[in-house]
A = this chain, B = another copy of it.
Amino acid sequence: MLSQAEENYLKAILKLSQKNGKSVSTNAIADELYTKASSVSDMMKKLSEKSLIHYVKYQGVYLTEKGKGLAVHIVRKHRLWEVFLVNHLNFKWDEVHDIAEQLEHIKSLELVNKLDAFLNFPSFDPHGDPIPNEAGEFPKTSAIPFSELPVKSRGKVVAVVMDEPSFLKYLDKLNISIGAQVEVIEVNEFDDSFDVKINDIQSHISLDVAKNILISLL
C-alpha cells in the first residue's frame, strides 16, 4: 500500500513526463512538489525498490508500467472527485483543486468505480482535463492551444492547461469557460497579444493566457 507521499511523487513524475520528454530530473520533481532535491533522491530509492520507477543515479527517472498505472489511477480519482465537487456540490472550478488533492488519496477501488458510475462516466473534468477510464485509458482529443488558432478561424474551448485558482478566476473575468466559442481577430506582434472574440464579444488576451487555453476547431 502506498503512502500519500509516495502517491504524490508518482503523480508528479507522470505529470512531468507527459509535459516534457521521458526522463524526469530530480530537481524538476522537487520544484513540482515544493520539496528539496535531497528529499527527492531519498524517495526515488524507495519507489525504485518497489519497482514503480526506473532510477539510475544522476540520470533522472521514469515510471514503470506498474508505476504509471498507479499514477494514472490517482489522476483518475482526482478528476472524478472534481466532477463531483463542481457538478453536484456546486463548487466553482477554481475551488476544487485542494479538496480533490485530498480526496484522490482515498483508497477503495469500488468507491472510485461507483463514483464514476454515479457521475455517468465523464470523459473530462471541470477544467477540461481528460479522465482515464477504469482500464487507465484516456479519451483522445484533438485540441490545440488557443495561441495556435489561425486568425479568422473559430474554435471552442475544451480545456485549460493550468488549474491555479488565480488563472481560473481570471478566465471567469474574461468570460472564458469550457464550451465558449472563440475567434482570433488579430495578432499584435509587438507584445504577442491577441485581439479575440469570446462568444462574439470582443476581448483581448496575452500570449501566456492563450497558451493555457485548449480549443478544438469549429
Task: List residues of chain A with CB under 8 Å of any chain B CB.
Answer: 85, 88-91, 95, 98-99, 102-103, 106-108, 110-111, 114-115, 118
Contacts and interface: CB of A to CB of B under 8 A. Distances in A.
A111 B99 contact: yes
Contact of A88 (B85, B110, B118): B118
B107 A102 contact: yes
A102 B106 contact: yes
A107 B100 CA distance: 11
Nearest to A106: B102
19 contacts: A85-B111, A88-B118, A89-B111, A89-B114, A89-B115, A89-B118, A90-B114, A91-B110, A91-B114, A95-B110, A98-B108, A99-B106, A99-B108, A99-B111, A102-B106, A102-B107, A102-B108, A103-B103, A103-B106
Contacts of A88: 118
Which 4 pairs, one residue from A and one from B, show the smallest C-beta to C-beta distance? A89-B114, A102-B106, A99-B108, A99-B111
A108 B108 CA distance: 21
A111 B106 CA distance: 15
Given A95-B110, A103-B103, 15 more contacts: A85-B111, A88-B118, A89-B111, A89-B115, A89-B118, A90-B114, A91-B110, A91-B114, A98-B108, A99-B106, A99-B108, A99-B111, A102-B107, A102-B108, A103-B106
